[in-house]
A and B are shown apart, each in its own frame.
Chain A
């Protein structure tokens, strides 16, 4: 069935390190892909999205490229900051609903 698989956390990095959070999906057709972020005590916020193959979504230094051939949408950032500590959810839209991954908790050490 349709699903999203993302890297299990928690992920702990030092400030300025390179970040990759892997995400793969199983879906029919050409869904839109998303990364949502949830900061402590807050609701989910859209971080970035891509609506078709080879599209690259980017925001706040984060990037993810829609790879149809590998059904992946990995999240990357070249230099993380303490303020990036949060839970990150990969997701895709299907029939007006959003299917989420299990979330990856990211902690950045100063």
Chain B
């Protein structure tokens, strides 16, 4: 089935630095990628939707300048947390929608990135 590879799986960074998270679709082309974050004991909250070749669509309340999303190719989408602060510490996970003709497989998720800002 479809696989989305997400890296890194965990990262610790200093406050004020930037962190890039990558999601690659390994055996299919993902023209769309969804980015979620999850705080402890809370739901996965959709942050933004990246689209290959166009600007990302951000959900209400998500800072575009802080969470930079780039979908440079059909197999790579990145999320960069800029000038990270401790409150950005969270679990970030990407997801690609099902391929055409494989809708019953559902969405494919990366394994997630746990970001800790110290």
Interface residues of A (CB under 8 A from B): 4, 8, 34, 36, 41-46, 49, 89, 96-103
Let me know if B106 and A96 touch, CB within 8 A: no
Give bound CA distance, A89 to B44, whole Å.
9
Query: Chain A interface mostly helix, strand, loop or mixed?
Result: strand
- Tell yes or no: B31 within 8 A of A by CB: no
Q: A102-B41, A103-B43 are in contact. Are A96 and B109 (CB under 8 A)?
A: no
Chain A nearest CB, measured from B66 CB (Å): 21
Q: What are the residues of chain A within 8 A of B46 when measuring CB–CB?
A: 97-99
Q: What are the residues of chain B within 8 A of A41 when measuring CB–CB?
A: 9, 111
Chain B nearest CB, measured from A13 CB (Å): 20
With both beta carbons as reference points, the residue of chain B lying nearest to A100 in the complex is identified as: B44
What's the tally of chain B residues with a CB closer than 8 Å to chain A? 24
Give bound CA distance, A99 to B42, whole Å.
12
Give bound CA distance, A96 to B111, whole Å.
21
Q: What are the residues of chain B within 8 A of A101 when measuring CB–CB?
A: 43
Q: What are the residues of chain B within 8 A of A98 when measuring CB–CB?
A: 34, 46, 95, 107
Let me know if A44 and B109 touch, CB within 8 A: yes
Chain B nearest CB, measured from A89 CB (Å): 7
Let me know if B107 and A46 touch, CB within 8 A: yes
Chain B nearest CB, measured from A70 CB (Å): 21
Interface string of B89-101 (1 = CB under 8 A from A): 0000101010000
Q: What are the residues of chain B within 8 A of A8 when measuring CB–CB?
A: 41
Q: A43-B93, A45-B109, A46-B107 are in contact. Are A102 and B4 (CB under 8 A)?
A: no
Interface string of B66-108 (1 = CB under 8 A from A): 0000000000000000000000000001010100000011111
Let me know if B112 and A100 touch, CB within 8 A: no
Question: B111's contact among A34, A43, A49, A102, by CB below 8 Å, is which?
Answer: A43
